[in-house]
Structure 1
Amino acid sequence: MLEDVFFDGWAGLARTLVVGVMAYVVLIVFLRISGKRTLSKMNAFDLIVTVALGSTLATVLLSKDVALAEGALAFAVLIGLQFIVTWSSVRARWVRRLVTGEPRLLYYQGRLLPQALLGARVTVDEIEAAVRSSGMANLAQAASVILETDGSFSVIKRQDGQIATVPVGVAGPQDE
């Protein structure tokens, strides 16, 4: 009984090896056909697809109840849906907004935007950390801080004597 925990026979190992190699090859072929965008990290939706593909691969490898053909179909469904959503988001703004959201201005011309911070669930400490990560000593050196659709921060450095402008497509202070 205890030996089943450590070793359940050669057949299980052979299945994992054969199905693992084949599932990996199928996944690589599908990813090459679908293009680079499938595994991009452009937004949360892309991350979800990447995690789902990994989870599907693990299930195909380790579950005797899932056949390779079923796993290949699951890969195709996930990649196909990713293709449809990204294709649609490039062509229809409402789909893009639904899937990715919009960048959010959190700090602008020397002031934090409290409503934007609350709405994005971002703390002042996180804003300050983003500014430091951008090579600036403090918020005073930043013209603006934007929370991008992928969850990263963009920090725009203040130019001496220059008034910062809100980048195109970013929800600005007038939207608060």
Structure 2
Amino acid sequence: MWFDTLEEIIRIIVVGTAAYVDLILVLRISGKRTLAKLNAFDFVVTVALGSTLATIVLSGDVSWAEGATALVLLAALQFIAAFVSSRIPGARDALTAAPTLLLEDGAIVEPALRAQRVSRAEVMQAVRSTGLGDLSRVAAVVLETNGSLSVIPADARGDGSSLADVRGRGAAEDA
């Protein structure tokens, strides 16, 4: 059967449109952080927003007002978590993973690769994508909190202050 009743189709169109507009408003009000490059916490919130929108649109058991409240609640909780993690020491560590050093001064940090489940090939690809062909010209490759790999060429390292919060600094020397 193509559909049960015309009223259900009309409900989906009306409530879906209203819920979509609500989601856009919530995202605009909550700011860029809600859809920024995703760390694990941001990813969960984004998936929950999508799931909530789908439930509002497709479930006749959930009213538009309940769904809109859920969207606002998720955005508010994400805003609170971001606010707390940026102002309270230690809160960021509880909500997000720390960046991890995977390569230091041209040397792969094997224990970090194993712990983070990253292959040597992925590190090499990140280095190649920056146009470098020689690992000795790389000061660091960092697995960031959002899962991306940052490559710092040796000639751009400077005092290394951007690596201050990276887990595993000095690991190549210890290995």
TM-score (norm 2): 0.88
Identity fraction in percent: 47
Q: Does 1:91 align with 2:87?
A: yes
Alpha carbons of structure 1 residues 71 and 134: separation in structure 2 relative to 1, 3 Å = same
1:154 match: secondary structure: strand
SS across alignment from 1:22 = helix
Match of 2:90, as an amino acid?
A: W
**TM-score under structure 1 length normalisation:** 0.88
Q: Which amino acid aligns with 1:26?
A: D
Q: Which residue of 2 aligns with 1:137?
A: 133
Q: Give the match for residue 16 of structure 1.
A: 12
1:127 aligns with 123
Residue 55 of structure 2 corresponds to: 59
Contact 1:128 1:138 in 2 (8 A): no
The reply on whether 1:148 has 2:175 as its aligned counterpart is no
Deviation (angstroms), 1:127: 0.6
Query: Is 1:77 aligned to residue 73 of structure 2?
Result: yes
Aligned match for 1:173, one of 160, 166, 170: 170
- Which segments of 5 or more consecutive residues in structure 1 lack a partner in the other structure? none
- Aligned Cα RMSD in Å? 2.2
Q: Secondary structure at the match of 1:93?
A: coil
Contact 1:110 1:140 in 2 (8 A): yes
1:26 to 1, 16, 22: 22
The answer (yes or no) to whether the contact 1:59–1:66 under 8 Å persists in 2 is yes
CA gap 1:158/1:94 in 2 versus in 1, 3 angstroms: same
Q: CA contact under 8 A between 2:139 and 2:154: conserved in structure 1?
A: yes
Shift of 1:155: 0.5
Output the CA distance in 1 between the equivalents of 2:158 and 2:145.
25
2:90 partner SS:
helix
3-state DSSP of counterpart to 1:159: helix
Q: Is the 8 A contact 2:19 2:67 kept in 1?
A: yes
Q: Which runs of 5+ in 2 are unaligned?
A: none
Letter in 2 for 1:38: T
Q: Are the aligned partners of 1:103 and 1:149 in contact in 2 as well (CA < 8 Å)?
A: yes
Shift in CA distance, 30/17, structure 1 to aligned 2, threshold 3 Å:
same
- Equivalent residue, structure 2, for 1:118: 114
More deviation, 123-132/139-148: 139-148
**Contact kept? 2:86, 2:92, Cα under 8 Å:** yes
